[in-house]
Amino acid sequence: MFAAATKSFVKQVGDGGRLVPVPSLSEADKYQPLSLVVKKKRCFLFPRYKFTSTPFTLKDILLGDREISAGISSYQLLNYEDESDVSLYGRRGNHIVNDVGINVAGSDSIAVKASFGIVTKHEVEVSTLLKEITARKINFDHSLIRQSRSSRKAVLCVVMESIRTTRQCSLSVHAGIRGEAMRFHFMDEQNPKGRDKAIVFPAHTTIAFSVFELFIYLDGAFDLCVTSVSKGGFEREETATFALLYRLRNILFERNRRVMDVISRSQLYLDDLFSDYYDKPLSMTDISLKEGTHIRVNLLNHNIPKGPCILCGMGNFKRETVYGCFQCSVDGQKYVRLHAVPCFDIWHKRMK
């Protein structure tokens, strides 16, 4: 009966699907802010998740003894009173009958009344909490961490907000025929036929909560998943290896891009030089033919092997030549290799 009432409350309040109904009255005190719960998918046939309470808080699974001093704000949410008529032939009606054990003989529906009164919302200050846990690490020796890590379906979550009652509340059900006047009694002895059931629970009972998932890395660092897009869990060895390979791939790709960019700029520079050379008349470019200029020589005649041209040998292709100039020197070398045309004249034109 309590689970049916909290589910109805969450369905009516909404909150974009973030609120989770408390499944049991006996566990209501375990869904307080900063408490830990385990989120686990039931099976592939059921899209909804099951949340299981734990006796631990976020501070219990962190290394060090420093307390978490993130503030918790509270405010009144609404005044909740609900009366609904539930068919016995539906899933919710069957669940209530099995949970309460009410006598449904000759009935086709159940009237459910939930009187929560004014409920309050208690939520953790997210910005303060994020600053507190920035340098904290997870204790992998903690029993909850070991057990959760061994299951690929389990995700650890932190309760970030809870909704509680402020006074003594009551839940009651009455089995009857749809359309008749529904009666509510709070004591079983007033109803000997067992067609009415009621429970009363104390003030400050948690009826709903919301969580943030935890994503825990192999080195003990962790992230608080503050959006529905990010998912929690444990980083696996294969995931870390794949991430490392992906980063290396990106580094190599970027390095290769930079090398190709340098080569491309060098090639454009050479193309500009050659086009500039060929676009000018011979009298302005053929410096080597003028009196007193440097002389082209065949380096093979001086026992110097063929090698890359100092101008065009640094492009995409290592263009080699047997010609050069003995009157020029580069990097301590007493000659330079230059193609006879046009590199020889371009080189000396620049030198001049």
Torsion of CA 300, 302, 305, 310, to 10 degrees: -90
pLDDT, residue 338, reads 86
The string of pLDDT tens digits covering residues 224-251 is: 888 878 888 888 766 556 667 777 888 8
Mean pLDDT of the chain: 77
Tally DSSP H helices, then E strands, for the chain.
7, 16
Percent of the chain with pLDDT over 90: 15
Q: Give the whole-angstrom CA distance, residue 350 versus residue 352.
A: 5
**Residue 80 reports pLDDT greater than 50:** yes
Q: Give the whole-angstrom CA distance, residue 322 versus residue 338.
A: 8
* 46-50, 279-283, 290-294, 332-336: least confident range: 279-283
What integer is the mean pLDDT of 120-147? Answer: 90
Going through the chain in order, the beta strands assigned E by DSSP cover 20-21, 35-43, 46-57, 72-87, 109-124, 154-165, 169-176, 196-201, 206-216, 222-225, 233-234, 297-298, 307-308, 320-321, 323-325, 336-337
Q: Where are the domains of the chain?
A: 1-240, 296-339
The string of pLDDT tens digits covering residues 158-201 is: 999 999 999 988 888 776 655 544 443 333 444 445 556 778 88
Q: Which two tokens stand for residue 242?
A: 């794949």
* pTM, rounded to two decimals: 0.59
* 72-81, 255-264, 316-325: least confident range: 255-264
Strand partners, 74: 122
What is the amino acid identity at position 32? Q
What integer is the mean pLDDT of 200-209? Answer: 90
**Residue 329 reports pLDDT greater than 90:** no
pLDDT band with cut points at 50, 70 and 90 for residue 103: low
Q: Where are the alpha helices (DSSP H) in 61-151?
A: 91-100, 126-132, 143-150
Q: Give the whole-angstrom CA distance, residue 1 versus residue 171.
A: 7
36 vs 340, residue with greater confidence:
36
Residue 341's alpha-carbon distances to 215, 282, 311, 319, 323, in angstroms, are 66, 12, 11, 13, 10
